[in-house]
Amino acid sequence: MIFSVIAFALMSSFVKYLSDFNVYQIVFFRSIGTLFFTVPLIVKNKISFLGNKKKWLFARGLLGVISLTCFFQSLNYLPVGTAVSLRYVAPIFAAIFALIFLKEKIKPIQWCLFFIAFVGVLIIKGFGADVNYIGLVFVLLSAVFLGLIFVVIRKIGPSENPLVIINYFMVMAFVFGGLMSIPYWRNPTSIELLLFLSTGVLGYVGQLYMTKAFQAQETNLIAPIKYLEVVITILIGAFWFGEIYNSWTIFGILLIVSGLIYNIYVKQNDTK
C-alpha cells in the first residue's frame, strides 16, 4: 500500500507539473501509459476485451473519465495536497449512493463521521490558503463521480476481471481525451512526454499494488495507509511547487482523514 500511495502521489504531482497543457491532452496520455500494460496482459491471459456486463462496464468507464478529467482540472486551481484531500470525501457520496441504489444501511455513527469530514471541507474552503472556488467545484464533482464508481463496481461484482474494468476506463479515456484535445494540442518536449506517459504507468502501479495490499491483509489494516497519499502530496506540493498550507488547511485535512479512517473501522467491525 505504501508503494501504491507513493505512485498515486507522484502521478498527481506530475499532472500538476503538466498543468500548462490542456486537461484533455493529459487524460489522453494518462490512458496510453496504462493501456501499455492492460492490453498485453488481457491478450496474454486470453481474456475477453468486452467482458460480460457491458452496460455496467461502459458506465464505469464513462464515470471514470468524468471523475479523472474533473480531478485533473482541479489541479489547475488548487494546491496538489488540498485537491487530493478533498477528493477523499468520495466515500461519503459512495455511502449515500449505496443507500439509494443498493439499499445499504448507514449507521448513525457513520453519519457523524461523514459530518466531521464535511466540516473539514468547509474549513478548508473558508479558512484554507489559496482555495479557489472553481477548483473546489471540480474536485467535489470528481469525488461525486468517484462515489458513483464505487457503486457501479459493486454492481459489476466479481464476475469481471479487474483488467477488463480498468481497460474499459482507459480505452474510453484514450478516445475521449484524444478527440477533445485536438483543438488544444501542443507537442510536448521529450521530458514532458516522459512525464505524460509516467502518469499512466504510475496510475497502473498504484492500482496494482493497492489490489495486492487488499489481497494480502484485512481492509481495516490496509485502507488507512491509503491516506498517506495526502501527507506525501502535501510534502511534494510544499517542496516542489512552493505551495502554502496554513494551519486551517491542515486542520481541515485532519478532520477529513480522521473521519473517513474511523469510518473504515466502523464498517469493518460491523461486518465481523
**DSSP line for 203-216:** HHHHHHHHHHHHHH
- pTM of this prediction? 0.89
pLDDT bin (cut points 50, 70, 90) of residue 74 is very high
Spatial distance between the Cα atoms of 71 and 80, rounded to a whole number of angstroms: 10
Average pLDDT of the chain is 89
In the prediction, which pLDDT does 126 show? 72
Per-residue pLDDT, 221: 67
Distant-in-sequence, close-in-space partners of 187: CB < 8 Å, separation ≥ 6? none
C-alpha cell at 193: 512526454
Residue 129 has φ and ψ, to the nearest 5°, of: -80, 130
Length of the chain (residues):
272
Q: Could you give the dihedral angle defined by the CA atoms of residues 64, 68, 71 and 72, in that order, rounded to the nearest 10 degrees?
A: -170
User: Is-contact 160 53, C-beta < 8 A?
Assistant: yes
Q: How confident is the model at residue 183 (pLDDT cuts 50, 70, 90)?
A: very high
Q: State residue 132's pLDDT score.
A: 85
Q: How far apart are CA 70 and CA 75, in angstroms?
A: 9
Number of domains within the chain: 1
Between 65 and 110, residue with greater pLDDT: 65
- The conformational region for residue 51 under phi > 0 = left, psi -120 to 50 = alpha, else beta, is left
State pLDDT tens for residues 150-165.
889 888 888 888 889 9
Is a pLDDT exceeding 70 seen at residue 72?
yes
Q: How confident is the model at residue 219 (pLDDT cuts 50, 70, 90)?
A: low
Q: How many CB atoms lie within 10 A of CB 218?
A: 10
Judge whether residue 271 has pLDDT over 90: no
CA 217, CA 178: separation in Å to the nearest integer? 38
Contact call for residues 140 and 132 (beta carbons, < 8 A): no
Question: CA–CA separation, 206 vs 4, rounded Å?
Answer: 4
Q: Which domain holds residue 192?
A: 2-271
pLDDT for position 130: 65
- Residue 230 CA to residue 101 CA, distance in Å, equals 30
pLDDT digits (tens, 9 = 90+) for 237-253: 999 999 888 888 899 99
pLDDT in tens, 35-50: 999 999 999 999 999 9
Helix (H) or strand (E) run with residue 92 in it: helix 90-97
Q: Which residues contact 76 (CB under 8 A, 6 or more apart)?
A: 19, 23, 135
